[in-house]
Amino acid sequence: MVKHIACLIIFILSAGISGAQDSLQTNIPVHDPVMIRQDGIYYLFATGRGISAWSSKDMKNWKREKPVFNSPPEWAVKAVPGFKGHIWAPDISYFNGLYYLYYSISTFGKNRSCIGLATNKTLDPDHPDYEWKDHGKVIESVPGRDEWNAIDPNFILDDGQKPWLAFGSFWNGLKLVKLSEDAKSIATDLQEWHTIASVPRNGTSADSLAGNGAIEAPFIFKRNTYYYLFASYDYCCKGEKSTYKMRVGRSQKLTGPYVDKENKPMTKGGGTLLMHGDANWYGVGHNAVCTFDGKDYLIFHGYDAHDKGRSKLRVEELNWDEDGWPEVN
């Protein structure tokens, strides 16, 4: 009898351990990932209904957390016809004592889009102060008025610690705009807008399709005396037919001009190739760059050639050559 009880206890404990392990996943299905660390825990946010969220202790085994939004923001439903709660391309930063999460509201292939902002005191879902506060629209693009698209935000501070936001896709390329001191709106004292990268495209009307100017997902990373602009080129979201790739340029000024290794401006189609698809991944892109414990990491998604082109998280250590250019071994 004692033996049977002991076996039952072992079985129950084993089942509990197995259940805990089952809640952790590797090769998680994400799109447009960004990452940050708080109190030894890595938090990842990605495109998804309500903004997908994950946590990990080692950047390898991930636990799915509840989405940032339980229901679509009311302002967003009104602002973008056809939007039903699938939120794109979040960007996470720590600023002014809060976690700032910018996010994109749009419908595929249109530039009727908005970038919103939510903040939180903590990223720990179990903390009593955990609560996302939505601040609504920061930037909006309107067909027929704007030759740019308000998606794919990336927050960056300049040398004077003033906040800016890079964003954009297709149309006339990637933009950079100065934000207010609290980073919750566009600066009104002096509206500074800059085009930081673009590629040739077909069509001239903002309410037409985006044409072939396939560029998106800016991410600016400061290292030593340079700002590095990472961007994704060609086509995402096509599974086995995805041709996504990452290119990079740099500038000693946040506002540019950004040039590649050959000194070609990124506003004229330049950009040094960083990564592209191969036999294992049809395409790779929409990256972030994070520094943890003195190491830089490239955070991005790839379309798995061994799993029907499904989009999955990839994390690679980012190295730098003798001339200060990033590379992935």
CA 219 to chain centre: 8
The token pair at 171 is 């149309």
Q: Rounded to whole angstroms, how far apart are CA atoms 34 and 46?
A: 6
Q: Rounded to whole angstroms, how far apart are CA atoms 270 and 73?
A: 37
The enclosing H or E element of 74 equals: helix 74-79
Cβ 248 vs Cβ 264: under 8 Å? no
Return the half-sphere exposure (C-beta side, CA atoms, 13 A cut-off) of residue 15: 6
* Catalytic annotation present for 32: yes
Q: Residue 149: is it exposed, middle or buried by C-beta count within 10 angstroms (0-12/13-18/19+)? A: buried
Q: Rounded to whole angstroms, how far apart are CA atoms 131 and 119?
A: 8
Q: Rounded to whole angstroms, how far apart are CA atoms 139 and 149?
A: 10
Cβ 224 vs Cβ 250: under 8 Å? no
Q: Rounded to whole angstroms, how far apart are CA atoms 100 and 103?
A: 10
* Catalytic annotation present for 216: yes
- 133 bridge partner residues: 119
Q: Give the 3-state secondary structure of residue 14.
A: helix
Given the residues 91, 146, 152, 216, the one annotated as active site: 216
Q: Rounded to whole angstroms, how far apart are CA atoms 40 and 272?
A: 34
Question: What is the chain's percent helix, strand, coil content, to nearest 5?
Answer: 10, 45, 45
CA 290 to chain centre: 11
Output DSSP code: residue 266: G
- Write out the catalytic residue numbers: 32, 216
